[in-house]
Chain A
Amino acid sequence: MMDNEKEVLVEIRDLDVRYKTRLGPVSAVDDVSFDIFQGEILGLVGESGCGKSTMGKALMRLLPPATDIHGKVIFDGADVLTFSEDQLRDFRGRRISMIFQDPMTSLNPVQRIDNHLVETIQVHEPDTKETDALSRIRGLVERLGIQKERIEDFPHQLSGGMRQRVMISLGLVLNPSLIIADEATTSLDVIVEAKFLDELREILDEFGVSILVITHNIALVAELADRIAVMYAGRIAELGSIYSVFDNPLHPYTKGLLQSVPSIKLDEREVLYKMPGEPPNLTHPPPGCRFHPRCPEVMPICSNHTPSLLHVTSKQMVNCWLYQDHPEKDQPTIEVAT
């Protein structure tokens, strides 16, 4: 199997995240299991509010202290969820880093750019002298296309694209194994975004790091990622290689998502599919499959029993009763040809 050719970097098993709010617990991630491979780009897509960011933060344990987290996040053999504060600090930034959505607000406004970088190095390597740290970042910064003179600037003096490069350099400066890019390009304009994506891919190849690209923009994943995970209401609906999922989407939600992406061919002017309904309120998620109230292919069983994320081919997993057997099910289970 192709999957087995790659080494697993992160194993996520039975992950549950429940925010505590005054209105009751919010089940933002529910029973999620998947792997992230070394050197791959995994795209995590879904409508906003479906738990993608929570998922990303859970990997770094950046959630509010009161949040309930269960399950396992095995990174290089160790379970992140059992780390002590000190282990966590060491882990964050050095093994795994995150590029945030808004480069405007994700840099300390009163800290110079070089200081951000030097501080990040010194946090993890306290013995590094400032001059050494500075010389270390020089190459990286140049590689990312940030002019040398600009690194003594304050964040507000840089353009949005430049700031996002700074964010990437901050993510890369310690050579982590995984970078989580949460809506990292959402705030950029289209041209900058395209350029940025090209560079991002090049860099990743150079550095050999894995990336979890979190986005609501499925087109971006198509362009960038090796694999895609489609998330709906706290669960993974479908997971597989870009080619298999885009060629043959199995989950009704994935199908809907793909249909609602506009095609580039202007002359066709097709009427875009619009998925009915809204994502559920996660304080009170629907029973059974969380997608069933919106599902065009809904079956009686869907509202009573929860399906699991199972392989249907070696490259594709889906979380839907259409492809799974159950004693209470009337319709035949669909077999997918490999």
Chain B
Amino acid sequence: MKRHKLVLIASLLVIAAVVLAGCAPAEEEVKTVIIGVTDEISSLDFSDAYSTHDWELMRNVNVPLTDYIPGSAEVGPGIAESWEVSADGMSWTFHLSDGWKYPDGSELVAADVVRTVERALALDGDIHGVVEGYIAGIEAPDDRTVVIDLVNPRGDFPQIVSMAFTMPAQEGVFPADELVFFPEEGIVGVGPWQMVDYDPAEQVVLERNPNYKKGFGPDAPDRVIIRYFEDATSMSLAVENGDIDIAWRFLGIPETQRLAGIPGLSVITTGGGGIRYLVLNENREPMSDKNVRQALAYLLDRDEIVDRVMQGTVDPLYTMVPPGFMAAGEYFIDRYGAGADVSSAEDLLRASGYSEDNPLAFDLWYPPEHYGTHAAQIFQVLEQQFEATPLIQVNLQSQEWGTYVKACTADEYQACYLGWFFDYPDTSNYLDVFAESAMSDDMGIFYASETMDDLLHTAGSESDPAVRESLYTDAQELYAEDVVTIPMHFEVEKVVFRDETVSSVSIGPALIFDYELIVMK
């Protein structure tokens, strides 16, 4: 009997010790903030990375030639303080500012930038195609100057070089002839943070770069840990329970709404660059008929979808360029009105020979889960909206994402639904991909218009902002007129943090999360 009691007591003690060990607050003077994400690391090579989360980590460790002005989608100085373009627009010179240092104390030199860009040009990384499309060559005439020669003139080149492929890398960190997706020691740069430890499946640990040029605020964290979650549910429970301090992308609508009701948690809406649109395949009947596309644009009522299905968690979008970017506007309202206009749509359809007896019939495809479980509801509402006229017969179809995304961009569907997130923060990145005749084919749209190509090419190579703005205005008017695609809505992102440990976070409209701007309690 006695022995059994002893065993029982001993095991209770062990359990208690374990629970206590886990619960006892670690004695830490290091101010640590833990950020949860459901994203994942794809590559940590500056010359390869082409994904939002990789870029977020890189932007916190390193600084590109030009950089976002905190809290805005505008691009300002990065490691370059100024730049100028040659008269023919084919060569850009960037002047690096002083005082950028790596954590080991060594100074940034222009050759560090050249190294990354040359690797991006030479190696077959994910960003290779983008870089190759713009840059012909790069050199560093001296330690403070970088000169880049272009393939074609680009007026938005300062925006383009805000991408991670212009971040400096010290000699010997990356081999010249090979991409390294997961460098053994993590990545280093001249940014506010240095990566001290990481495990792509679990976490990334960042500590301050003691030599960071701009310094840290008094309540900035000393250490940032990014923790990877498999799904939004466990991440939301973890922020609720205090395992993490901040829950970042992607929380999802139901989880955000749930967390919003819990005391001690703050839910902040941040900017969003993600847009959703309908692809109308102009390579196939019936979308090749402009009347049909315009009729659909007349029939669509975005507010109904935003309010009824998305409960206001997204905003309606009336051009492909989201608010905040140059020349953004409400071009589709100007052309087709805000709500549904059934009679205008019917006129167009009748003009194209459709009638009650011979209605316009087409398949409309969507993925059942990839864009959240409410996708099905969006499409039911959309079907009702289009079928508000007896001249249209919509056939809803859905297909699992892997197959769907291929078919949608490869001329297999008549109409489908996709999302887009910018690569670099410029209006051009929201128009060229869809409307420029070569790129449009790759997106499964098959739009081709010489006028449009002219407008986009000229705007791209123009460096005077005022001229660019007016060119992009014209392009978007034409875009709405031709209904290249139908913009539907754009998404804002939510971030949730615990009031107990975090006072505020700063995430700009371009979704740039600067960890050093987190204010801790």
Establish whether A and B are touching in the complex (CB under 8 Å): no
Contacts from A to B (Cβ < 8 Å): none
The residues of B with any CB-CB pair to A shorter than 8 Å are: none
